[in-house]
Amino acid sequence: MPDNLRWSGDRLIAAGPMYDEPACGGTRLAVVDNPILTSCHRGYMVAQFDPKTMAWTILNYAEPNPAISVVSTGVLMGDTLWIGAASAEGIAYRPLPRPAGGAR
């Protein structure tokens, strides 16, 4: 469920919580009327869009984590992805994966 689209340098980044989270009773739509299940921690995904190929590439994803819940944005700085969330007191960061061979 992309929450925000954001330009990060020359990359268009989308970030958001997982739409279908089995640990939370399924899809967000299926639990929308249940306050306990709607506050359940969902995993997240951050991806970038390539306008030339019209394809998405996943930059990072993770299982539910109460420390970074309701992910809403991602920003790239060098080789690091910074992740912001609507329900967190701080931000998270993840190194970007390197392609085989170690070169970028």
pLDDT at 11: 82
Average pLDDT of span 81-92: 86
User: Can you list the alpha helix ranges (DSSP code H) found in the chain?
Assistant: 35-38
Instruction: Give the strand order in the sheet containing 11-17.
Output: 4-8, 11-17, 44-50, 55-62
**Predicted TM-score of the model (pTM):** 0.78
22-69 per-position pLDDT tens digit: 877 778 777 777 776 667 778 889 999 988 888 999 999 888 888 887
pLDDT value, residue 31: 76
Position 63, amino acid: E
